[in-house]
Amino acid sequence: MKPILPTLKENPRYVQFKISSKQTLSAKDAQAAVLSGCKRFLGELGVAKAGIQFMKYDTKSQSGVLRTNSKMLNETKAALALIKDIKGKKATVSAEKVSGILRKL
């Protein structure tokens, strides 16, 4: 079996996001809110095409990193921007930085 050419591989992008909320959120709550917000906007097929993965989250600064496909980057950022409440409380999620390498964030 021949290996996949590098030009045909999907290129990951890492999106650093920040949650603005009065209450501090645990990593589990943030992950559930972000993934459900992306699923609500993109649908199950869109989330699968984007390959969205929750990488890490810092409860102190309320910021985290999300992995997505480079072709679905704008849709993923839009899905993050449309999250308005987390666990019934008002909160906003904003994408701060995008990088192709995780250690650059």
- Superfamily holding 11-99: Ribonuclease P, Pop5 subunit (3.30.70.3250)
Report the C-alpha gap between 54 and 19 in whole angstroms. 14
What was the pLDDT predicted at 84?
Answer: 94
State if pTM tops 0.85.
yes
| pLDDT tens-place values along the chain, 105 residues long | 888 888 888 899 999 999 999 999 999 999 999 999 999 999 999 999 999 999 999 999 999 999 999 999 999 999 999 999 998 899 999 999 999 999 998
Extended strands (E) in 1-105: 12-21, 53-58, 63-69, 85-86, 89-99
